[in-house]
Copies of this chain bind each other. A is one copy, B any other.
């Protein structure tokens, strides 16, 4: 079992489900919905925040509404598997705000990046920014035509 894993009960789970869907309703409303007292609910939320289960509260911006019409998945293969190289690559890629997700993978592909860009020209700009920071040889991009589902809620 994961060292970071925290125990939560059904009430916690229900709170998380609700807050992951919509964090805007008042405590009173939320508590009433879940048949909890306002305070019980409040204390559970505070505990889960302290435990790092609830990492943060954010506003979700619709990418289309601000002209970000393209999601690109960039698969990177490298011959250099040293910690030093990864450190440099991780720092460079993470600092690029268009790189919204970044994973170290098992199997054929070594790293997978998810980019959010305006169009193909914008992708090219970000790509150049990336390879300028860290030389990359084996890079392949896959373009998403349509975002059918995007969910920040994790299954609890």
Copies in the complex: 2
Interface bracket on A: 35 or more
Query: Are B59 and A19 closer than 8 Å at their CB atoms?
Result: yes
0 or 1 for each of A42-69: is its CB under 8 Å from B? (1 = yes): 0000000001111111111111111111
Which of B5, B6, B61, B69 is within 8 Å of A156, CB to CB? B61
Asked whether any CB of chain B lies closer than 8 Å to the CB of A154, the reply is yes
* Interface hub of A21, A106, A143 (most chain B Cβ within 10 A): A106
Query: Are A100 and B59 closer than 8 Å at their CB atoms?
Result: no
Q: Add 5 more A-B contacts to A23-B59, A53-B66, A55-B60 (CB < 8 A).
A: A54-B59, A63-B154, A97-B153, A105-B144, A107-B142
